[in-house]
Amino acid sequence: MDMLSLILISIGLAMDAFAVSLTEGLAMKRLKKRNILKIALVFGGFQALMPYIGWRIGGVFANKISQYDYIITTILLLLVGGKMIYDGWQEQECETEGKCNMMSNLLLLGFATSIDALAIGFSFSLVKDLDIYYSIEIIGVITFLIASIGVYLGHKVGHLISYKTEYLGGGILVLMGLKSFIGHFI
């Protein structure tokens, strides 16, 4: 596989992480480097890990998982988006105090946005002369960079709007979940 193809695949895989990173940035009251790093590492890590798992498993389960990936993604995005809306409703402003425990949601989001990377890993197992370790490194680094940019941009936009950003972020995730579900049938 040539470098351009690998970079384009990596960018395509990172787009879900970018969208979710935007919502995480929207929900932040204060932008901290460690939060950007945490979010980008989770998304980059999952995007690198899932193709490796898919590659290891090979084509054995590819058809079964690809039939239901939209359901898994939809459920996870709806749950996390719904929780963000609920947290906004409860007026839990963890970012104001800087003591957020966003890792539980973040791990679910990292998994949800990387399911398509698992399918890419299955297809990688069919490509001869593919260096899987180099490939997942590229995927992880590109996703890390794109997710970092997403958090930063989301935070900047979040300070320009005057209403609860938790609602907006949760609403975006819910819409992404619904889009995933409806998109499967269209």
Helix (H), strand (E), coil (C) string for 91-104: CCCHHHHCCCCCHH
CA distance 101 to 92: 11
Angle between helical axes of 33-57 and 115-124 (0-180°, round to 10): 40
State residue 126's pLDDT score.
Answer: 74
Rounded to whole angstroms, how far apart are CA atoms 80 and 180? Answer: 14
- pLDDT at position 175 is 81
Domain span at residue 19 reads: 3-185
DSSP 85-145: HHHHHTT--HHHHT----HHHHHHHHHHTTHHHHHHHHHHTTSTT--HHHHHHHHHHHHHH
Tokens of 142: 């590109």
> Do the Cβ atoms of 43 and 17 come closer than 8 Å?
yes
Place of tokens 């787009």: 15
Over its length of 186 residues, how does the chain's per-residue pLDDT go in tens digits? 789 888 988 998 888 888 888 888 887 878 899 999 999 999 999 999 999 998 988 756 656 666 776 776 677 667 767 766 776 665 444 445 544 555 557 888 899 888 888 878 887 887 778 899 999 999 999 999 999 999 999 888 865 654 455 676 667 768 877 887 888 787
Distance CA 130, CA 62 (A): 18
Residue given tokens 């079964």 in the structure block: 64
Q: Are 86 and 53 in contact (CB under 8 A)?
A: no
pLDDT of the residue at 151: 93
Say what the pLDDT of residue 168 is: 65
For the chain, the domain total comes to: 1
Q: What is the CA radius of gyration of the chain?
A: 17
